Amino acid sequence: MTLSWSLQSARVARLDRDELELKQPEWAWEVTPHHLAPYLATTSMAIAVTPDDRAASFEESRSKLQRVCDVQGKQAIPLGHIASCVRWTPTS
């Protein structure tokens, strides 16, 4: 198994890798241009920029997704995700 960023993070890097189990399930969310801004608002970028820059970024992303949807002839496009889950089971 290729170690992901999850197993290299500071929280688990000090643990014995034989005691760690990594699962990375993939899933897709059908996202519409209308739902994209609320999704993006949950990211750290939304906190780190000014309200004007945030609104401009959301609108640019919404507009790009709308163009993709228009080209595909769809109302929503699958947005792929990979969740990283680490379980630690100490042997001692």
Write down the pLDDT at residue 1: 44
Residue type (1 letter), 58: F
Is pTM beyond 0.85 here? no
Write down the pLDDT at residue 33: 93
CA dihedral sign, ordered 52, 31, 83, 60: negative
The predicted-structure confidence for 46-81, as pLDDT tens digits, reads as follows: 888 899 998 999 999 999 999 999 999 999 999 898
The predicted-structure confidence for 1-45, as pLDDT tens digits, reads as follows: 444 555 566 667 777 888 888 888 999 999 999 998 888 888 887
Write down the pLDDT at residue 64: 94
How many angstroms separate the Cα of 60 from the Cα of each of 7, 23, 36, 51?
A: 34, 33, 11, 14
Q: Is 49 helix (H, G, I), strand (E, B) or coil?
A: coil
Q: Domain residue spans in the chain?
A: 5-88
Residue type (1 letter), 85: C
